[in-house]
Chain A
Amino acid sequence: MTDVTVFVILMVVVLSAGFLMAHRGQARHRETLEEWGVAGRAFGNWTTWFLLGGSMYSAYTFIAVPALTYGIGAIGFFAVPFAIITAPLTFVLTTKIWSVAQRHGFLTHGEFAGARFGSRPLSALIAVTGILATMPYIAVQLISLQAILRTIGLGGELPLLAAVGVVSICTFRSGLRAPALLSIVKDVLLAWMLLTAVLMVAMFGGWDNTFHQAGQRLPAGLLLPDNGQLGFLTLVIGSALAIFAYPHALTGMLAAKDRATVRRNAAALPIYCLALALMALLGFFALARGVTPLDGDLNTVIPRMIQEYFPPWSAGVAYAALSIAALIPAAVMSIAAANCFTRSIYRPYLRPQSSPAEEARVSRWTSLAVKFGAVAFILLLDPAYSVELQLIGGVIILQTVPAAVLGLLTNWFHRKALIVGLLTGLAVGVVMLYNIPRLDATGRVAEAHFGGSSWSLGDGRTVYVGLVALAVNLLVTVAFTALLRLAGVPSGPDATRPEDYDTDTDDPRQRRLDALLDGLPRQTIH
């Protein structure tokens, strides 16, 4: 019982601290979407680092990745190289989008792409794609939280609703500052959990034994099968690109106060990769020790391992770390999705004259709706659907890469070509996913559709669907752009200028265009 007591006490302390801080912060902050949605772009090195770790290395990652290595071995380790290559990409790409967003007051990819290619429909389409991809991502976070609560005997709807409710109120009041605060606590608890895990492995035979026994239990062995390389690498590259298109990953970065903060954070990001890699190896430990999941749900493998092998009070700390790690990304994602709606749909289409205060209000309520929508989703529907939708989400968000990510490097693409390419990519991706059957252990078809994101090439090799769809998308975009240019159809006006991509906060060229164009009040820039 000690573990549950420690867990409940920690959760109550942490969440009420968050609640009180949120309450205190309320008076100081002006009511604008930039304050609420990206914390006034004022976070320094440490806060940004914790927030990024909190929003990208979520409970779903810490629970699902070891569940994968537990279930299928080496392929499950794809998350580690994927996380590592995002760091150098962040160094280059994120500084660009930070600058242009800072200069024009953008909060989302959709706004940027809309301004870059001169197209409101493109902006709205990217926002809708982002929201569709984010919703199931929030749902899987809450499923991870549910898996933890169930393992320790706090199943049912009430504990889940209570935890989500408190975090929603914090977020509603103080926006991105609430998850940023929780992230710091989470990382301390998580470090404790990893330390316990390392000691646990050392006490129960060390890595030598662990890998020896796990190797015997995995049918494919500890390494990638020879025909598994293509599937592995396409999954790594596809997932890494998707990170730069997911709304929530951008939100944390835009909250940084200057370019140097973004760059320093990129250099420090791989520290989280080490934590992730260690968690992934714990899947092998669980397998070697014969930990069995609850009701066959692989997401409960890590909570079960903690329950069996951690000392009780340390287990309580670990449950709290994982639970908070589920709530933070849920909060950041709901903020990001709300900003997408407010900036790319509400403001351009519904209320062009909306004031910054009104934008903030709309985003607040939208974030609440998004979060409780996700809760309703997992309580009312089979959780398996959320996992399937999350899979689809990864594939569809990749389709916004040409406009939202490549757009940082070039404005050559034609706006109409981008829209056609995006829609084609979405169609190809979803049709391919639909046609992937799920096989059971004996190799028979258990379910006819949405059985994974690896498309079989017939000779045992597979390829990640998202990357195939993105290739088709790019091909269509390039072909249509060339055609439209030949036909002399004018492309949209590019509202950004080349120097916008490397301006910094205290750059003398820096003048807030939103202040000039929309008459928004100038933000105090630190």
Chain B
Amino acid sequence: MPKPRALWLLAVPTAAPLMTPFVNRIEPAFLGVPFFYWYQFACAFLAIGVLTTVYLMTAEKR
């Protein structure tokens, strides 16, 4: 099976949560939650979005 190029998109949600050196700050806070913490919530949503996209793009023909 040729490797679908869409799989490379998965690098985005893999790398995003590891960017802690750049997000290690309080501001901008969201609903009182410091940036460092709510950034990871955003990463979880990003992961759901990207994985769903990749799933739809690579859905195996039945």
**Interface contact A88-B50, CB-CB below 8 Å:** yes
Q: Taking the complex as formed, is A407 at the interface, i.e. its CB lies under 8 A from any CB of chain B?
A: no
Q: Taking the complex as formed, is A271 at the interface, i.e. its CB lies under 8 A from any CB of chain B?
A: yes
**What total of chain B residues lie within 8 Å of the partner, measured CB to CB?**
37
**What is the bound-complex CA distance between A224 and B1, given in angstroms?**
44
**What is the bound-complex CA distance between A301 and B61, given in angstroms?**
50
**Interface contact A277-B37, CB-CB below 8 Å:** yes
* Given the contacts A88-B50, A502-B1, A260 and B60 also touching, CB distance less than 8 Å: yes
| Contact of B17 (CB < 8 Å), options: A84, A210, A263, A267 | A84
* Given the contacts A207-B31, A263-B55, A267-B51, A222 and B44 also touching, CB distance less than 8 Å: no
**Interface contact B14-A232, CB-CB below 8 Å:** no
Interface string of B36-59 (1 = CB under 8 A from A): 110011011101101110110011
| Contact of B32 (CB < 8 Å), options: A210, A223, A277 | A210
Q: Which residues of chain A from 265 to 309 have any CB-CB distance to chain B below 8 Å in the complex? A: 266-268, 270-271, 273-274, 277, 281
| Contact of B18 (CB < 8 Å), options: A81, A89, A210, A281 | A81
**What is the bound-complex CA distance between A506 and B61, given in angstroms?**
11
* Given the contacts A85-B14, A229-B24, A506-B62, A274 and B51 also touching, CB distance less than 8 Å: no
Q: Taking the complex as formed, is A92 at the interface, i.e. its CB lies under 8 A from any CB of chain B?
A: yes
Q: In the assembled complex, which residues on chain B have CB atoms less than 8 Å from the CB atom of A91? A: 10, 51, 54-55
**Interface contact A274-B34, CB-CB below 8 Å:** no
Q: In the assembled complex, which residues on chain B have CB atoms less than 8 Å from the CB atom of A504? A: 60
Q: In the assembled complex, which residues on chain B have CB atoms less than 8 Å from the CB atom of A264? A: 55
Q: In the assembled complex, which residues on chain B have CB atoms less than 8 Å from the CB atom of A271? A: 44, 48
Which among A74, A91, A229 has the greatest number of chain B C-beta atoms within 10 A? Answer: A91
**Interface contact A88-B40, CB-CB below 8 Å:** no
The residues of B with any CB-CB pair to A shorter than 8 Å are 1, 7, 10-11, 13-14, 16-18, 20-21, 24-26, 29, 31-34, 36-37, 40-41, 43-45, 47-48, 50-52, 54-55, 58-60, 62
